[in-house]
Amino acid sequence: MGASDPEVAPWARGGAAGMAGAGAGAGARGGAAAGVEARARDPPPAHRAHPRHPRPAAQPSARRMDGASGGLGSGDNAPTTEALFVALGAGVTALSHPLLYVKLLIQVGHEPMPPTIGTNVLGRKVLYLPSFFTYAKYIVQVDGKIGLFRGLSPRLMSNALSTVTRGSMKKVFPPDEIEQVANKDDMKTSLKKVVKETSYEMMMQCVSRMLAHPLHVISMRCMVQFVGREAKYSGVLSSIGKIFKEEGLLGFFVGLIPHLLGDVVFLWGCNLLAHFINAYLVDDSVSDTPGGLGNDQNPGSQFSQALAIRSYTKFVMGIAVSMLTYPFLLVGDLMAVNNCGLQAGLPPYSPVFKSWIHCWKYLSVQTLRTSMKEPTG
């Protein structure tokens, strides 16, 4: 949060917490993108193999080992592995929940503590918004330490359902075997492979998102009750009954479309950018040894740095694309709590939006007005 201009642009609401939260919130999407690129990586060209150390026969590509897959392993080990991923995902969700809780309260415009006036390095007056720790301390003062975990239960259920759904889909619609590309110059074949794998991951992500979204809506509403000190949404079952009675079936899917669009843009953007960078900009001839030719004891050392660079490329692309898709996340979260009978979703905190497109246009106009204001000195 840190220093800011006297008025914060709506698109930047929860910016610092949002970017940190994106690292945790986009874990499943990032894992999916990393998995696609890892499976699509080409082996070293055959003509570079060391003459006295012939390359072994190509092995079947390893399955992705990330929380988004939810289905690593096969046979008797598959249920155990899936349960392990659910447990690990629950731990990460619980640890990151206070950060995402603070981010959501900032997104809806709840600022119980006034910003402090200070000066930046250029001597210009700026407003310093409360940091995450300051905000979290305020929540503890009001609700106690347990208050930092308001809305955690439906979030845990949502993430578990998403993981199980992806694992089940992998069993029903198993991915095709990935054929290794023998020639790195055959970019057309490699690109087709990335497109095919990304399409498969997109299908799983969209289905799991749609099934888990009702629990996401309940979690968001439980958290924003902090603003008006309401107790309308207290449990999962009672919340389901209230939403169905007041809003019907569609009430469980408000804000779904921007979330789906964000997921699709993230997967395609991350996978394609990582593919083109790794294919055209990363040189396999770079080595750990002087001269870049490896040695008799370790003929494959010439590829170690290239593999490391590719790993960092996927990581950096995930962060960059997450920043670009943050507006979709913001609009989706605001729509989930808009006009639901809670103070945080009604004026003066928020206008009543007719659709997510109305919300997007409103935030865009407000951001433009904020950026056009003359800075105060």
275-295 pLDDT, tens digit per residue, is 888 777 776 665 444 444 444
37/22 Cα distance (integer angstroms): 20
Judge residue 14's burial from the number of C-beta atoms within 10 Å of its C-beta, 0-12 exposed, 13-18 middle, 19 or more buried: buried
- At 119 the three-state DSSP class reads strand
Predicted local distance difference test score (pLDDT) of residue 177: 59
Q: What is the pLDDT of residue 77?
A: 64
The pLDDT assigned to 97 comes to 96
236-247 and 152-172 helices, crossing angle to 10° = 80
- The strand pairing partners of 172, in sequence order, are none
pLDDT at site 29:
56
What tokens appear for 299 in the block? Answer: 């003929």
253 and 213 Cβ atoms separated by less than 8 Å: yes
| pLDDT at 308 exceeding the cut of 50 | yes
> How does the average pLDDT of the chain come out, rounded?
77
Say how far apart CA 210 and CA 195 lie, in whole Å.
Answer: 22
With cut-offs at 50, 70 and 90, classify the pLDDT of residue 265: very high
Contact (CB, 8 A) for 303 and 44: yes
Please determine, for residue 64, whether its predicted confidence score (pLDDT) is greater than 80.
Answer: no
Asked if residues 157 and 236 have their Cβ atoms less than 8 Å apart, the reply is: yes
The total number of residues shown for the chain amounts to 377
Q: 116 - beta bridge partners?
A: 128
How large a percentage of the chain has pLDDT more than 90? 44
pLDDT(37) > 70: no
In the block, tokens 């169905």 appear at: 244
CA distances from 24 to 116, 280, 285 (A): 29, 30, 35
Question: Which value, in Å, is the radius of gyration of the alpha carbons in the chain?
Answer: 24
* pLDDT at position 369 over 80: yes
For residue 6, is the peptide bond before it cis, meaning its omega torsion is within 30 degrees of 0?
no
Indicate if the pLDDT at residue 54 is higher than 80.
no
Measure CA 374 to chain center.
Answer: 34
In this predicted structure, what is the pLDDT of residue 12? Answer: 62
What pLDDT band is residue 234 in, cutting at 50, 70 and 90? confident
Of 81-85, 120-124, 327-331, 345-349, which has the strongest mean pLDDT?
327-331
